[in-house]
Amino acid sequence: MANLKEVKERITSVVSTQQITKAMKMVSASKLRRAQDKIVQMRPYSQKLTHILNNVSAASDGASDVVFAEKREVRNVLIIPVTSDKGLCGAFNSNIIKAGNQTIARQFAGKNITILPIGKKSFEAFKKREFNMVTDYYQLFQDLTFENVRNAAEYAMNSFIAGEYDQVVLVYNEFKNVATQEVQVEQFLPMAKDDSTEEKTTETEYLLEPSRKYIIEELVPTSLKIQFYKAVLESNASEHGARMTAMDKATENAGELLKELRLMYNRSRQAAITNEILEIVSGANALEGK
């Protein structure tokens, strides 16, 4: 049985760890509230903008004349995995890295792969592999604003138009609730056609002012940037939810461990007291026998 000093030191260590995990849970809960508000406000705007774009495309000549919808033979692929800058958030980061690797292996085997990491953990993970890297945007979460995210989106969009990449794929965690985040592997470019929207809107006539070309040229880039920003916000909210859940579980585990250690401490202390009593009794008996 462990001695009292060792057990006491372990109890002190676990209590200290539990205090840290409680504090981290509270911080994550505070950040989650703000991040959740942002994504809840962003979703309706993003969905409505996408719906309008699909309506305009379906009501006329489709997306055939939209440069961002141009489909070509896939040789060069840009993968954008979105992780966090920090750990201690369960499987949040490892799920994205795993999904990114699986996507490359299953869908793009033999293609020229370039990684544009967002988040320090993504940067560190894919840096170890022999991929081309675009490292200008992996620190976006240090100052998460639409302007900074827009720069990353514009890089992907301009590179696609220039023919540097034939396909751009986003890999991120979609926020469901505090305990649930779902990994999404989403084709960012070329734009995917929404057949369901087209079926609903082909019989409707639209008057487009000043012109369809102008609306498409203005609306499509804006929609893509919003879509990109939404993915980053989803990941940000998911990160804080995952960390809050992980720290809550760690706090509970620390509590269970403390119960075991305190029971062990009491048993060790009881055994030590019993041994001392036995030694005293044995000494007294020995003196009486003289």
pLDDT digits (tens, 9 = 90+) for 26-51: 999 999 999 999 998 998 988 888 77
Asked whether residue 54 is domain-assigned, the answer is: yes
Q: What is the residue-averaged pLDDT of the chain?
A: 88
pLDDT of 129 above 60:
yes
Asked whether residue 11 is domain-assigned, the answer is: no
Is 89 part of the annotated catalytic residue set? Answer: yes
Instruction: Give me the domain span that covers residue 46.
Output: 21-246
Catalytically annotated residue among 32, 39, 63, 89: 89
Asked whether residue 255 is domain-assigned, the answer is: no
Token couple for 197: 């929207």
The pLDDT value given to residue 35: 93
Token couple for 230: 């939404």
204 vs 114 pLDDT, higher one? 114
Asked whether residue 15 is domain-assigned, the answer is: no
Are the C-beta atoms of 154 and 225 separated by less than 8 Å? Answer: yes
Asked whether residue 101 is domain-assigned, the answer is: yes
Q: Is 96 left (phi over 0), alpha (psi -120 to 50) or beta?
A: alpha
pLDDT digits 0-9 by tens, 167-188: 999 999 999 998 899 999 999 9
The pLDDT value given to residue 217: 79
Count how many domains the chain has.
Answer: 1
The whole-number average pLDDT for the span 99-118 is 95
| Rounded-to-integer distance, Cα 148 and Cα 232, Å | 11
Asked whether residue 167 is domain-assigned, the answer is: yes
pLDDT of 198 above 80:
no
| Rounded-to-integer distance, Cα 245 and Cα 242, Å | 5
Asked whether residue 100 is domain-assigned, the answer is: yes
CATH of the domain at 118: 3.40.1380.10
The pLDDT value given to residue 197: 44
At 270, which amino acid appears? Answer: Q
Q: Whose structure tokens read 């954008």? A: 80
Percentage helix, strand, coil, to 5, in the chain?
65, 10, 25
Asked whether residue 184 is domain-assigned, the answer is: yes
Are the C-beta atoms of 149 and 155 separated by less than 8 Å? Answer: no
